[in-house]
């Protein structure tokens, strides 16, 4: 004998009583789903990278660094928790600018920016530093969207060289969270 098939759009528990607003699966029974059930706040994916190789600039105009990560969103309207540590060296100049941008379909949106000051280092003109970003981004995009998070950098003094990944390495960590 074939079991009956019920087609249900919505399951809803009773609105009052001891089990108000609950749908209960009795002990010894299981609920089988053909695809994953994702609760808000669930981690959908993680990604990490530790790019190597030095990148330099002498321009006050922001340029892409090699510190970036590209992911494809797995759910519409999810959020992304990002943590970047950027190894920088402002050379003999007192500071450099860095910013984190989100790039979707060639369009950039600035998420955060910082000025990194050089520490006094009397033995040489260089002083390595780390710039750190930790933030939550909610790009409001459909599932399947390719999103690149990238650090851009610029010198604060025209013609003065600044470096990413000179003697200090950078790292990127990302979590996609269900909305």
Residue 80 in this model has a pLDDT that exceeds 60: yes
Give the contacts of 58 (CB within 8 A, at least 6 positions apart).
155, 158, 159, 160, 161, 162
pLDDT in tens, 15-46: 999 989 888 888 888 887 777 778 889 999 99
pLDDT in tens, 145-169: 999 999 999 988 777 888 888 777 8
pLDDT in tens, 44-61: 999 999 988 889 888 999
The pLDDT value recorded for residue 62 is 95
């Amino acid at each position: 004998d074939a079991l009956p098939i019920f087609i249900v759009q919505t399951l809803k528990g009773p609105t009052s009583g001891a089990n108000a607003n609950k749908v209960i699966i009795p002990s010894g029974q299981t609920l089988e789903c053909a695809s994953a059930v994702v609760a808000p706040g669930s981690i959908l994916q993680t990604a990490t990278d530790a790019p190597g190789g030095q990148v330099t600039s002498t321009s006050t105009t922001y340029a892409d660094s090699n510190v970036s990560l590209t992911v494809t969103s797995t759910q519409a309207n999810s959020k992304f928790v990002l943590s970047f540590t950027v190894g920088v060296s402002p050379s003999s100049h007192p500071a450099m600018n860095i910013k984190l941008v989100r790039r979707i379909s060639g369009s950039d949106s600035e998420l955060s920016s910082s000025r990194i000051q050089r520490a006094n280092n009397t033995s040489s003109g260089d002083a390595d530093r780390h710039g750190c970003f930790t933030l939550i981004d909610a790009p409001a995009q459909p599932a399947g969207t390719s999103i690149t998070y990238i650090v851009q950098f610029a010198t604060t003094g025209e013609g003065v060289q600044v470096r990413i990944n000179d003697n200090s390495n950078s790292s990127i960590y990302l979590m996609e969270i269900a909305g």
